Structure 1
Amino acid sequence: MNMESGPMAAGDARCPAISTQDIIARDRIAAPGWVRSESYAFLGSEDISTDRYIDPDFARREMESLWTRSWQFACREEHIPEVGDYQVYEIGRHSFIITRVAADEIRAYYNACLHRGTKLRASGSAGCASEFKCSFHGWSWNVDGSSKSITCPWDFPHVDPANNALPQVRVQTLGGFVWINMDPDAPNLEEYLGAEALAHIKAWKLEDRYIHLHVQKSFPANWKLTIEAFMEAYHVIETHPQVAPSNADANSQYDVYGNHVNRFISCLGVASPHLEGRFSEQDILDQFTVGDASVLSEDRPQVGNGTARQAMADLFRTMFGAATGSDLSATSDSEMLDCFSYTLFPNTYLFPGVSLPMVYRFRPDPRDHRRCIYEVFFLRPVPDGGARPEPAEPILLTDDQSFCEAPGMDAGFGRILDQDTDNLFLQQEGIEASAKRGLTLGNYQEIRIRHFEQAVDRYVAMPPLRPGR
């Protein structure tokens, strides 16, 4: 590849190979409008300070000003389908009971007894309740949060049951997800995401999917380093060389939407520009269907007179349609194949494609700002005409376990996640050992990281918000 000569304005440089939009424009079944759009903006070239990844005071400011003011994915609606169903969601020291109080209403309560502060439900718990009762002294609340009983009420004439309801945080639903925000003055979720990103999310109809597999693992790396490891395809050629023969990595497309959403589109079924001219169309197809790097286990299909990308789209359409009981005949080739990665600030990734229908969630470890809790949710369409399956229970992996050890995890994808994990170990340690106190980012391929960290800076600069009464 030879970049065209002559000076270019900052941020204008792009990979000289075929663009993402040109790849998609050649597909037999055309992509929808949300795919065929671009929204890049140059946001500067300054280094990003590394203090944010290693300084405990920075982590404290994040917890006081960022996590208290941002919208966060707490659970899926399918986790709490019936009145009284609940899940506990925790971020740092904050803990919430997310519960359904009516067919069309979900609430989120601070998970603490109003008597002497004992948690009403243990971390990670879920179930169905008719009340939320403290295990210490027996004070209890109804599912709607109203006070139910006070043990020995004669001793608490100063406590008015009418004013003793469980405090709540704001709740909204979108795409089958339940979102919470501790800030009563924050913009609503629709304003927070912005009109364009909101239109994309609504188009995916993620409410019609369910959690097929849920895997959680803790990493010895700051939550921002962990989330940023997945924001670009720039690392693919070095970190994941086994997928480069069929992944258009360097010519991936990057977009930003307002202050809280960004994305990339990385096309499959075409070779990396780094490997231009080294592989035939059949070689590209074989990378997915035979050999150690394969993500499929079919007999070897043939490209014939077509392209690897088209053959893969047809193969995926048949395979995933049969696996999910869904009619995918009208689904675009791009949706069948490509990786669409959307970051919803601060800690949620949505992957709305068919071949990689996933959600990532990242949370700082409350005991160590150099560690992160990382979750992968694999979504499948609810079978046409069938009942919604129960959401999968989380599989918890230890530090020394491979993602490949999670039952149901595709070995090829598990290996990719392990490779990213190895980088995170080295990156956290390297930043702390480095004489350079900043990270240098590419203007285009790493724009999502800059966009994300600029949002972090805006929130951390705000005064602390200490929710509650």
Structure 2
Amino acid sequence: MNIDTGKLQPGEARCPAISTQDIIERDKVAAPGWVRSESYEFLGSEDVSTDRYVSAEYADGEFERLWTRTWQFACREEHIPEVGDYHVYDIGQYSFIITRVAENDIRAYYNACLHRGTKLRASGSEGGASEFKCSFHGWSWNVDGTLKQMTCPWDFPHVDKKKFSLPEARVALLGGFVWINMDPDAPSLEDYIGPQALAHIREWRLEDRYVHVHVQKSFPANWKLTVEAFMEAYHVIVTHPQVAPSNADANSQYDVYGEHVNRFISPLGVASPHLEGKYSEQDILDQFTVGDGTMLSDDRPSVGNGTARQAMADMFRGMFEQGTGSDLSSVSDSEMLDCFSYTIFPSCYLFPGISLPMVYRFRPDPRNHRRCIYEVMFLRPVPRDGRRPDPAEVVILSDERSFTEAEGMDPGFGKILDQDTDNLFLQQEGIEASAKRGLTLGNYQEIRIRHFERAVDKYMAMEPLKPGSAVKR
């Protein structure tokens, strides 16, 4: 695995084993253009200051500058399918009622009574409503945000009902997700994501899926450390040794798109370069299908004269065709197998693959900058009859519970998440104990972390968003 980097420019070094694109090129069913593209950019080799992970003042600045100006995934459209349905989304001290006002009109109201500030709907609540009424003094607003009723209106001659509508954040829809932004002057969601990544997302048709499993857990680590724990496959060989025999970790491809989106592609069905020569093709297939940490439980299949990767792609295709009644013969082997991880800054991960379509969401704990709220959502295709099932209710795990205990969670994948999060506790404590006040990142395998932190720096250099900024109708 050693390589002479003396003649290479910074950022040019790659794992000397076969590349992700070379692996995908050998597949029987060819991958689409969004898979076959590359978009790496060298972004420097300087340390990233650790102050951002340990300072309460820094976290306060993020709520004023970063979270108020960025696009965030607030809910799925299936959470609010009917007019009057609502879903409360909280980010730090901010709270929003996401509601469907009409078939094609979704709004995000600041979740506070305009009389004396009481929340109109409790955090975590959702349901259907014909009005949003304050539990304290009874003021109420229509679903379209207009003021419906004041208690004792004779005492408020100074309140103009026409000017007392609920303030709104901006709303955009993409891929079945509802996105919000508190900054009325922020770029559109399309411009924020950029043309390349936007084209990829639209190809996936995530609007044709629904939330099948939803698990949430809080971690004793800063939200940025938690986001970054999933941005690279560099840790796989040490943290997840049980998957390394069928995961081409060091071969993974890393890409950046504009300021706000990055990704990796991590191929499956190929042994880690760290284990070169230790596993046969049949060993690789066995490890994935019947070995320790497997995510499958079928009888042992055979490679025959082919490769483990091809056998796995064919097996997955058959399983999903049988389960969904769909014809997947034209879906590429790479889409059937590989891990595609896209981060949309600051808090959303999209995994569009067929085998493990997921969404991650990360939010800082508003009461403790050393804690983070982490969510995993598994997406399934909408049934062929077009009747969309209700989204899964969130399963909230306490600190001591394992992901393997969550209803609907595959035990093998739950074990992987437990391994990742065990590291986070040690990393947070280690950073605070360290005499070295910076993180040293790899130029290629950890480029997503550097790209992410550059975006953090950009927003932290801005002025705080002025109180009262909101969409005006």
Aligned counterpart, 2:160: 160
**AA at the equivalent of 1:122:** A
Q: Secondary structure at the match of 1:95?
A: strand
Aligned counterpart, 2:174: 174
Whether the aligned pair in 2 keeps the contact of 1:232 and 1:264 (CA below 8 Å) is yes
1:405-444 alignment, distance < 5 Å: 405-444=405-444
Once residues 323 and 428 of structure 1 are traced to their aligned partners in structure 2, the CA distance between those partners, rounded to angstroms, is 42
Q: Secondary structure at the match of 1:310?
A: helix
With the length of structure 2 as denominator, give the TM-score of the two structures: 0.98
Once residues 386 and 144 of structure 2 are traced to their aligned partners in structure 1, the CA distance between those partners, rounded to angstroms, is 31
Once residues 2 and 396 of structure 2 are traced to their aligned partners in structure 1, the CA distance between those partners, rounded to angstroms, is 46
Aligned counterpart, 1:120: 120
Once residues 275 and 200 of structure 2 are traced to their aligned partners in structure 1, the CA distance between those partners, rounded to angstroms, is 32
**AA at the equivalent of 1:28:** K
How many residue pairs align between the two structures? 469
| Stretch of structure 1 that moved more, 92-101 or 375-384 | 375-384
* Cα displacement (A) at 1:6: 4.3
Aligned counterpart, 1:272: 272
**AA at the equivalent of 1:250:** A
Aligned counterpart, 2:20: 20
Aligned counterpart, 2:143: 143
Whether the aligned pair in 2 keeps the contact of 1:68 and 1:466 (CA below 8 Å) is no
Q: Secondary structure at the match of 1:187?
A: coil
Identity of counterpart residues, as a percentage?
Answer: 79
Once residues 56 and 295 of structure 2 are traced to their aligned partners in structure 1, the CA distance between those partners, rounded to angstroms, is 40
Whether the aligned pair in 1 keeps the contact of 2:270 and 2:309 (CA below 8 Å) is yes
Aligned counterpart, 1:259: 259
* Cα displacement (A) at 1:279: 0.3
* Cα displacement (A) at 1:323: 2.4
1:35-434 alignment, distance < 5 Å: 35-434=35-434
Once residues 11 and 380 of structure 1 are traced to their aligned partners in structure 2, the CA distance between those partners, rounded to angstroms, is 37
* Cα displacement (A) at 1:467: 4.1
* Cα displacement (A) at 1:7: 1.7
Whether the aligned pair in 2 keeps the contact of 1:183 and 1:467 (CA below 8 Å) is no
Once residues 324 and 374 of structure 2 are traced to their aligned partners in structure 1, the CA distance between those partners, rounded to angstroms, is 26
Whether the aligned pair in 2 keeps the contact of 1:208 and 1:382 (CA below 8 Å) is yes
**AA at the equivalent of 1:385:** D
Once residues 56 and 329 of structure 2 are traced to their aligned partners in structure 1, the CA distance between those partners, rounded to angstroms, is 52
Whether the aligned pair in 1 keeps the contact of 2:5 and 2:13 (CA below 8 Å) is no
**AA at the equivalent of 1:216:** Q
| Deviations, residues 384-409 of structure 1 (Å, cap 9, x unaligned) | 23411110000000000000000111
Whether the aligned pair in 2 keeps the contact of 1:4 and 1:16 (CA below 8 Å) is no
* Cα displacement (A) at 1:330: 1.4
Once residues 95 and 325 of structure 1 are traced to their aligned partners in structure 2, the CA distance between those partners, rounded to angstroms, is 41
Whether the aligned pair in 1 keeps the contact of 2:133 and 2:140 (CA below 8 Å) is yes
Q: Secondary structure at the match of 1:268?
A: coil
* Cα displacement (A) at 1:324: 3.0
Once residues 324 and 403 of structure 1 are traced to their aligned partners in structure 2, the CA distance between those partners, rounded to angstroms, is 26
Q: Secondary structure at the match of 2:248?
A: strand
Q: Secondary structure at the match of 1:435?
A: coil
| Deviations, residues 78-128 of structure 1 (Å, cap 9, x unaligned) | 100100000000000000000000000100000000000000000000000
Whether the aligned pair in 1 keeps the contact of 2:109 and 2:167 (CA below 8 Å) is yes
* Cα displacement (A) at 1:443: 0.1
Once residues 359 and 99 of structure 2 are traced to their aligned partners in structure 1, the CA distance between those partners, rounded to angstroms, is 21
Cα RMSD over matched residues?
Answer: 0.9
Once residues 350 and 386 of structure 1 are traced to their aligned partners in structure 2, the CA distance between those partners, rounded to angstroms, is 23
Whether the aligned pair in 2 keeps the contact of 1:86 and 1:99 (CA below 8 Å) is yes
Once residues 68 and 432 of structure 2 are traced to their aligned partners in structure 1, the CA distance between those partners, rounded to angstroms, is 27
Once residues 323 and 468 of structure 1 are traced to their aligned partners in structure 2, the CA distance between those partners, rounded to angstroms, is 50
The change in CA–CA distance for 1:440 and 1:6 in structure 2 (over 3 A counts) is closer
Whether the aligned pair in 2 keeps the contact of 1:182 and 1:467 (CA below 8 Å) is no
With the length of structure 1 as denominator, give the TM-score of the two structures: 0.99
**AA at the equivalent of 1:16:** P
Once residues 55 and 25 of structure 2 are traced to their aligned partners in structure 1, the CA distance between those partners, rounded to angstroms, is 46
Whether the aligned pair in 2 keeps the contact of 1:324 and 1:382 (CA below 8 Å) is no
Once residues 446 and 6 of structure 2 are traced to their aligned partners in structure 1, the CA distance between those partners, rounded to angstroms, is 23
Whether the aligned pair in 2 keeps the contact of 1:326 and 1:381 (CA below 8 Å) is no
**AA at the equivalent of 2:246:** S
Whether the aligned pair in 2 keeps the contact of 1:326 and 1:383 (CA below 8 Å) is no
Instruction: Tell me if 1:465 matches 2:458.
Output: no
Identify unmatched segments of 5+ residues in structure 1: none
Whether the aligned pair in 2 keeps the contact of 1:254 and 1:444 (CA below 8 Å) is yes
Once residues 284 and 291 of structure 1 are traced to their aligned partners in structure 2, the CA distance between those partners, rounded to angstroms, is 9
Once residues 201 and 189 of structure 1 are traced to their aligned partners in structure 2, the CA distance between those partners, rounded to angstroms, is 12
The change in CA–CA distance for 1:5 and 1:141 in structure 2 (over 3 A counts) is closer
Once residues 434 and 80 of structure 2 are traced to their aligned partners in structure 1, the CA distance between those partners, rounded to angstroms, is 46
| Deviations, residues 239-293 of structure 1 (Å, cap 9, x unaligned) | 0000000000001000000000000000000000000111000000001111322
Once residues 48 and 186 of structure 2 are traced to their aligned partners in structure 1, the CA distance between those partners, rounded to angstroms, is 27
| Deviations, residues 289-342 of structure 1 (Å, cap 9, x unaligned) | 113221101000000001000000011111122223332221110000000000
Q: Secondary structure at the match of 1:251?
A: coil
Aligned counterpart, 1:11: 11
Whether the aligned pair in 2 keeps the contact of 1:75 and 1:179 (CA below 8 Å) is yes
* Cα displacement (A) at 1:5: 6.4
The change in CA–CA distance for 1:252 and 1:2 in structure 2 (over 3 A counts) is same
**AA at the equivalent of 2:82:** E
Once residues 41 and 288 of structure 2 are traced to their aligned partners in structure 1, the CA distance between those partners, rounded to angstroms, is 34
The change in CA–CA distance for 1:384 and 1:424 in structure 2 (over 3 A counts) is same
